[in-house]
Amino acid sequence: MSSTIHFDTNLIIDFLKGTLSRADIEPLLNQNIIMISVLVEYELRLGQRLSKSQTIKQLVEDFLRSVIIVPLSSEIVGKASEIQSKQISLGKRLPLIDLLIGTTSLIHNAKLLSNDKDMQKLAEYGLEVITF
């Protein structure tokens, strides 16, 4: 049975830099639906434009063609604002882009691949975060 895997930007960057190998993530790629948020696309495209490496530019382009890119929606924004308001009431605040990426995973019932500590804070809201 396949499930949906949502990649965070930091995992993709680690993969492109070679600090995370395909063998590390291969078991998750097989028979799973791979998606990213449009915000991850933004971060990757920004890095692509700033990179001097043609190899990196091409790898980013190839990766973006191989995944499902999920747009922001009112449902994602609504859930994110609910989570952020709870965090603020506790004297905390999550970085906006991280919050929206994590909430995208929640709304789409996807497991999030991320090494970002802020994403772990979303576990109390039901987000399953896989780290490497």
At residue 22, the pLDDT reads 80
48-76 pLDDT, tens digit each = 999 999 998 999 999 999 999 999 999 99
Q: How far apart (Å, rounded) are the C-alpha atoms in residues 64 and 41?
A: 7
In this prediction, the residues of the chain whose per-residue pLDDT falls under 50 are none
At residue 46, the pLDDT reads 96
At residue 24, the pLDDT reads 83
At residue 26, the pLDDT reads 81
3-class secondary structure, 111: strand
Burial tier of 39 (Cβ tally within 10 Å: 0-12, 13-18, 19+)? buried
Concatenated DSSP letters for 28-94?
HHTTSEEEEEHHHHHHHHHHHHH---HHHHHHHHHHHHHSEEEPP-HHHHHHHHHHHHHHHHTT---
Q: Residue 122 corresponds to which amino acid?
A: L
Domains defined for the chain, CATH in brackets: 4-130 (3.40.50.1010)
At residue 28, the pLDDT reads 78
CB atoms within 10 A of CB 74: 7
Specify the DSSP element, H or E, that contains 101: helix 96-107
